[in-house]
Amino acid sequence: MDKINYYNVSLEEIEKFKNLDKKPRLALHACCAPCSSHTLEFVTQFFDVTIVYENSNIYPEKEFLIRRNEVEWFVGEFNKRNNRDVKVVFLPYDHEGYMASLRHLANDKEGGERCKLCYAKHIEDALKWGSEHGFEYASTTLTISRQKNSQVINEVAKEVAPKYPNIKYFYSDFKKKGGQERVQQLKKEYNLYQQKYCGCEYSYRDTVLQNNGQKEDQNH
């Protein structure tokens, strides 16, 4: 498959509406405060943004609440410092319901088929919520993550988006053009909470527990 420059795709889309009097509304799935940081700097130039915070993939619930509260705090602070008006909506936490269709892929490596299903759920939640509330666009912050393949995320979005014909998907590659470096700066500036694993119990097992195990091994 040829690689597509999704950063350019996002700029081409913006060209279509950037001279309109009113910014289109964007329902943006956000996974955490660090991934929201530069993404909001970028998208709020062109969109009236509402973050759709669902993330029932996160385990345990205590960790979900830490990340949720951090996003809420960050958006308030971001609005104050940048004179923006980003809104946030919180969808109910339903970890068992979210993971039901992913459990058979428990032993998949991070970035594999389980994660594609997970991306599809996040993207679908933003599209569904946005289309139910009359928004023009939906998207996700996931393409800013260093650990995630933007090509894969956008390909997944192409499969999900046709189910919601009354809203457009905003294809992106937020990590490009210094986006990822800017996240590192903003994390320091806002002193943001940085999680140690992607979200679900399998990523916790494969990163945090594995790292702890390695440390223990080194001590022996």
Handedness of CA 112, 41, 80, 130 (dihedral sign): negative
The verdict on 26 binding ligand SF4 (CB under 6 A) reads: no
CB of 119 to ligand SF4, least distance (A): 6
Contact at 8 Å (CB) between 27 and 64? no
* Among 110, 149, 151, 155, interactor with ligand SF4 by CB under 6 A: 110
Closer residue to ligand SF4 in complex, CB, 77/155: 155
Q: Is 53 in the site for ligand SF4 (CB under 6 A)?
A: no
The whole-angstrom distance between residue 76's C-alpha and the CA centroid of its chain comes to 18
Binding ligand SF4 (rule: CB under 6 A), the pick from 6, 7, 47, 202 is: 202
Beta carbon of residue 101, minimum distance to ligand SF4 (angstroms, whole number): 11
The site map against ligand SF4 for 67-96 (x = CB under 6 A) is ------------------------------
In angstroms, what is the minimal distance from the CB of 11 to ligand SF4? 27
Within 10 angstroms of residue 85's Cβ, the number of other Cβ atoms is 10
Distance CA 120, CA 100 (A): 14
The residue to which tokens 């009354």 are assigned: 166
- Residues 36, 37, 57, 145: which binds ligand SF4 (CB under 6 A)? 57
Tokens of 75: 């958006």
Sequence length of the chain is: 220
Q: Does 157 bind ligand SF4 (CB under 6 A)?
A: no
Please identify, using beta-carbon distances, which residue of 18 and 104 lies nearer to ligand SF4. 104
Give the nearest distance from C-beta 57 to ligand SF4 in angstroms: 4
**What is the four-CA torsion angle of 84, 7, 149, 161, rounded to 10 degrees?**
80
Position 114 contacts ligand SF4 (CB under 6 A): yes
Question: Counting contacts by CB under 6 A, is residue 52 touching ligand SF4?
Answer: no
Nearest C-alpha neighbor of 183 from the set 27, 64, 56, 36: 36
* Among the listed residues 40, 115, 161, 192, the single contact to ligand SF4 using CB under 6 A: 115
Residue 53 half-sphere exposure toward CB, CA atoms < 13 A: 22
How far apart, in Å, are the Cα atoms of 11 and each of 165, 172, 174, 181?
A: 22, 9, 11, 20
Chain residues in the site for ligand SF4 (CB under 6 A): 57, 102, 110, 114-115, 118, 198-200, 202-203
